[in-house]
Amino acid sequence: MSLYSSVSRRYGLFSAGALLCLCGCRSLPLEGRRVNREEQLSGYRDDAARLRGLPLTRGVAVERETAAALRGSLEEELDEPENRAFMADTALLLRQFRVLKPGDSLRELYLGLMSQQVAAYYDPEKKRVAYVEENLGGGAKGGAKFPGMERFVYVHEFCHAVEDAHFDLDRLEKASLVELDRNLALTALAEGDAVLVGLDSLCDGYPVNTATPLGAALVRLMGKMDMGDSVEEMGACPPFLAGALMRPYLDGAAFCNRIRRDEGWQGLDRAYRSDLPLTTAEILYPERRYLTPFTPAVFTPDASLFAADEQVCATNSLGVLGMALWLKEEDLGGVRGLPFLEGWMGDRIYLVKGAGTNAVQTVWLSYWERPGQARSFQKRVAQRLREGSGGAPVAVRREGRLVAAVWSSDPACPAAACDGRAERALKSRADAVTPSVLSSCWADLPLPLRFPVYAGHSAGCEILGGCVADVRGGPDFFRVNLASGLLLNVENTPDRHHVSTCWGLLRHVADAQSDFTYWQVPAVATWHRRGSGGAERYRWSLLGGLLADVSDRRARVLLIPVWHKKQG
């Protein structure tokens, strides 16, 4: 079930609005006839399949729900065994990290937030799209103020139906419930994919989408968006939980577009089928953790770490996104300001209970690419833990690349107990393929000339980080940019072709899934076509329309109307 929060609505529509306003071209006329509700929904369904490039192979029911019925559906979903176990483990984890206060219920916070924010969702078990009219229309949230919101919501949710039909979302979701980081990574992939399709649907009629250079630049900004203002709209929801619900939409869109721009939608198909991202590090740092071989560190605790009368009641992983949200508290701007997180190689959290006690002690192990990154993380974690400890003992130790943090939920726990366990934790083994310190530092240097190679994906050359020149290619694509694409931009993928020069004044772009072709010769002529068959729309003009302005609906020569088709 996907969250469609108020911030997602605002940012998604802002992005599309910016695309339409800045593309510098005239839109093609839309069909003028009125359509009934059923036909409109059928159009949204067809748009999702067409834009994603995959057929919707089974029927999808569309049902209306009230806010009360939505809450009932959510409760029914949370009561499923795997979801109940995941919610219990996550609640315990967040309580130990002091995200949840002693009296907070994660279940009630989640139900209250989702009941107010969800406008529509796709149910992979019942194969239906349900919409909540109070949240989708002109309810208390003011959804009616956002033009195109309904189209975005439905196309987004029908895209989930397409994903489910081809990749079995229900199976993937259940497999991801083993830990928080893996679940956030899958959510980012699925939601980012659907955000791109939803935004592309809003660009219908314009020679631009999220894969063209301007659209791609705006999508990249999603990963840098600060959502602090939106937390206030979520009432008592802790910022960490708000960020965990919203950031996968933004970071996931940036990740999916990174893959799609090179390999087309087929690259995302491959990600679902054979190269699923299992960590948020892969989502946030695709060049370092996804396009290059990467396996998270595997931790083997030392035999002395846990006493014979103790029980490890739960294990988990916070991951890069979880770390960023926790370390930055109220700031939900993602990983900005935490450069050491690029060096995350893995983390494992052990929640330990002693015999005859309800107190839980947390042992958090993390492994880093360089000792310097481990040192920076150690300082931030120690500061963050002590700020909210209420005087309870905290121990944070480091040995090379390995960091161990230990604290207890019992303020009366002796400090020596935490110190001793932290020292024993550093004896644990972390198995990971780690680059040498020299090669890791070399990869971060701002070298004027680089030759990035991603095995099985692409190879190329960058001058001054690609600002002067960026040339790269892979099995199914190539790209040439000069002066960040202002002087020359040539891109070819399985889905699209793009050629522009002279700051985009001379331009040709064609996209198979968005189904448009556009030519522009500065001050001379433009040509724009979208659709095919009876749905084809086209427009061309000479000398800005002064000499001729022709579309599938009308024609003018020297500003004199010579033909006009009546609306059907």
The rounded distance, in Å, linking the Cα atoms of 343 and 323 is 12
One DSSP character per residue, 60-128 reads -EEEEE-HHHHHHHHHHHHTSHHHHHHHHHHHHHHHHTTSS-TT--HHHHHHHHHHHH-SEEEETTTTE
CA-to-CA separations, 297 to 116, 289, 306, in angstroms, rounded:
39, 12, 20
pTM: predicted TM-score of the whole model, two decimal places = 0.91
Cβ distance 287 to 454 under 8 Å? yes
* pLDDT tens sequence across 139-165: 434 444 566 788 999 999 999 999 999
pLDDT band at 533 (very low <50, low <70, confident <90, very high): confident
Domain residue spans of the chain: 6-289, 298-437, 441-564
What are the residues facing 453 on neighbouring strands?
A: 459
Question: Averaged over 423-434, what is the pLDDT?
Answer: 95
pLDDT band at 395 (very low <50, low <70, confident <90, very high): very high
The rounded distance, in Å, linking the Cα atoms of 474 and 453 is 10
* pLDDT tens sequence across 481-509: 999 888 999 999 999 999 999 887 899 99
* 357 pLDDT above the threshold of 90: no
Neighbours of 408 (CB within 10 A): 24
